[in-house]
Amino acid sequence: RKEVEQDPGPFNVPEGATVAFNCTYSNSASQSFFWYRQDCRKEPKLLMSVYSSGNEDGRFTAQLNRASQYISLLIRDSKLSDSATYLCVVNRASGGSYIPTFGRGTSLIVHP
Amino acid sequence: DAMVIQNPRYQVTQFGKPVTLSCSQTLNHNVMYWYQQKSSQAPKLLFHYYDKDFNNEADTPDNFQSRRPNTSFCFLDIRSPGLGDAAMYLCATSLSTGGADYGYTFGSGTRLTVV
Secondary structure, 3-state, chain B: CCCEEEECCEEEECCCCCEEEEEEECCCCCEEEEEEECCCCCCEEEEEEECCEEEECCCCCCCEEEECCCCCEEEEEECCCCHHHCEEEEEEEECCCCCCCCCCEECCCEEEEEC
- Locate the chain B residue with the closest alpha carbon to A50: B100
What's residue A8's pLDDT? 87
Q: Which residues pair with A13 in a beta bridge?
A: A110
**Which residue has better confidence, A31 or B83?**
B83
Compute the average pLDDT of residues A28-47: 89
- Locate the chain A residue with the closest alpha carbon to B109: A43
Residue A94: its chain B contacts at CB < 8 A? Answer: 55
pLDDT digits (tens, 9 = 90+) for A84-103: 999 999 987 776 677 888 99
pLDDT surpassing 70 at residue A3: yes
Using alpha carbons, select from B22, B4, B1 the residue that is nearest to residue B95.
B4
Task: Look at A16-20, A90-94, B2-6, B16-20 and tell me which has the smallest mean pLDDT.
Answer: A90-94
Compute the average pLDDT of residues A22-32: 87
What's residue A100's pLDDT? 86
Asked whether B43 and B104 are in contact (CB, 8 A), the reply is no
What rounded mean pLDDT belongs to chain B?
Answer: 92
Residue A43: its chain B contacts at CB < 8 A? Answer: 90, 106-109
What's residue B96's pLDDT? 77
A17: confidence class by pLDDT, cuts 50, 70, 90: very high
